[in-house]
Structure 1
């Protein structure tokens, strides 16, 4: 019941209840004075009757109005006190304090709004804690991923300085290792830089009309050529009669495909490596699927693979460790295109990464 109805009924009750009780009192007092005690309606008993009636009417008015005011005010003030207490608790950082008020009135709506605010604040606090944890993991990841190759480079340079690389062949091998390691570091720094610019929304996008079929055909042809050296294959499947025209940034879109494929290649555990790219077209959107035949991802890990610095393997070895930013960058770029990205996988069978973009005519 709304507060407005409560106040209305209370005001009506302040009129009806006293009238009812006065009428009832008239009957009871009249019966007692003039029937039970056989008083004279024309004598002194009448004066006593009028006096008692006046006092009783005053008591009835005070009691009924007082009780109605008390219960109505209690139904309003009590939840307001709970809200005040909850506000103080939340102000002191206790976001677990919940108000159990389920009545459907204005205060109930206010309480529900307050509870929704509490939940959002709690979620924001959780997100902040997660962000802080991610920041600490970022520092740890950068420290680890930069220190490891730097240590390796220092070791090989020290070996050259100490004359360990005492033959042209050994010197060339040392220099090649140093070059490869610094190249890997350059790639890591590039990913960190791109990720930070995406996160700060400071990276420009040059959108243009792109035919995804033609775009992916070139990419898959180059990928197939590279995989042939490792006895692998890469194929593109699409209905050529459909349109796959989208509005996209070619450079950023290539980064998306590259990151997905590189991530797939890290977890290829089959002798024959296979990458399948499929295009699906509907009236308003184009869906791209990039499927591999790698080791797959567990159902527990799938919801987190697009988070920053998340790795399905915790070993952090050089072959599969990576930066943990590849798929996070993919998600960031696709969302800047107004699209969505998701994954489907089965352990031992492989993983499919999907992303969806809006079709243009």
Structure 2
């Protein structure tokens, strides 16, 4: 019952209850004085009756008013006191004390709204703490990933300065290593820059209709050319009669596929390297499966491979290298497309990365 209805009923009760009570009490007093005790209506008993009526009327009014006021005020003040205590707890940083109300009035609604706000504040606090933790990990990871190649470059430059590279062959080797390491650093900085711009939503997307069959046909031809040098192969499997038209940013989508295939090639441990892309056309979406025959991923690592700087390598100095941002960038770009990305893997057999995109109908 709403507070407004409660107050109206209380006011009505303050009028009706005294009238009914006074009427019943007058009948009872009259019966006792003039029937039971056979009093004289014209004598002193009448004065007693009138006096008792007045006292009874005042008593009934005071008691009725007091009881109704207490009950109504308690139903309002009690929830307000609980809200006040809860507000003080929230103000002191305690966001773990729930406050629920089963009442269907304004205060019950206010109480539940306050508790919903507490939950949102708690979630925001957890998100802020997670963000701060990620920020610290980001700084530590950037520092590590930049310091390692810099140390290598400085070492080789020092070797050249000290005359260690005392033959043209050694000098050429040192310079090639320095050049490769500098290129790796440039790629790392490029990924860091892209990741930060995606995270800050500073990259614009230019969506257009893209035929994924034609898109992957060109991509697979280029990828197969590179894999053939390593006795590998790249194939595309799709039903030519199906429609694979999606709305996507062509350049960003290519970055997604490049990141996935580059990641796959890092962990190829078979002599005959294989990458297979398969397209599935469903009612409202197209699913892309990119499968490799690499070393696979442990099941406990699978839920985290799309997180920033996550590597399945036990050591950060793994020979595979990489920024640890490739799949995180994939996830962010796919989310900007309104799609999603996930992975399945069998250790020792290979990994499949799945991409889901909305189909243009």
Same structural fold, with TM-score higher than 0.5 when normalized by the shorter chain: yes
**Counterpart in the other structure of 1:46:** 46
**Counterpart in the other structure of 2:146:** 146
CA pair 14-302 structure 1, distance change in 2 beyond 3 A: farther
CA contact (8 A) 1:266 1:319 kept: no
Q: Displacement, 1:142?
A: 0.8
Question: Gaps spanning 5+ residues in structure 1: where?
Answer: none
CA pair 158-12 structure 1, distance change in 2 beyond 3 A: same
**Counterpart in the other structure of 1:62:** 62
- What does residue range 1-361 of structure 1 map to in structure 2 within 5 Å? 1-34=1-34, 37-360=37-360
Task: Tell me the distance in 2 between the aligned counterparts of 1:222 and 1:302.
Answer: 29
**Paired positions, count:** 361
CA contact (8 A) 2:21 2:60 kept: yes
Task: Tell me the distance in 2 between the aligned counterparts of 1:32 and 1:349.
Answer: 102
Q: Deviations over 1:222-244 (max 9, x none)?
A: 22333334443322111111121
CA pair 185-61 structure 1, distance change in 2 beyond 3 A: same
TM-score by length of 1: 0.90
Task: Tell me the distance in 2 between the aligned counterparts of 1:348 and 1:44.
Answer: 112
Report SS of the residue matched to 1:126: helix
Deviates more, 1:8-17 or 1:188-197: 8-17
Q: Deviations over 1:305-358 (max 9, x none)?
A: 323223344521233452121112112222223333233344444332222223
Q: Displacement, 1:297?
A: 3.9
CA contact (8 A) 1:296 1:346 kept: yes
Task: Tell me the distance in 2 between the aligned counterparts of 1:147 and 1:73.
Answer: 69
CA contact (8 A) 1:315 1:321 kept: no
Question: Gaps spanning 5+ residues in structure 2: where?
Answer: none
Deviates more, 1:206-215 or 1:119-128: 206-215
Task: Tell me the distance in 1 between the aligned counterparts of 2:291 and 2:50.
Answer: 98
Root-mean-square deviation (CA, aligned residues, Å) is 2.4
TM-score by length of 2: 0.90
Task: Tell me the distance in 2 between the aligned counterparts of 1:66 and 1:201.
Answer: 62
Deviates more, 1:273-282 or 1:308-317: 308-317
Q: Displacement, 1:18?
A: 2.3
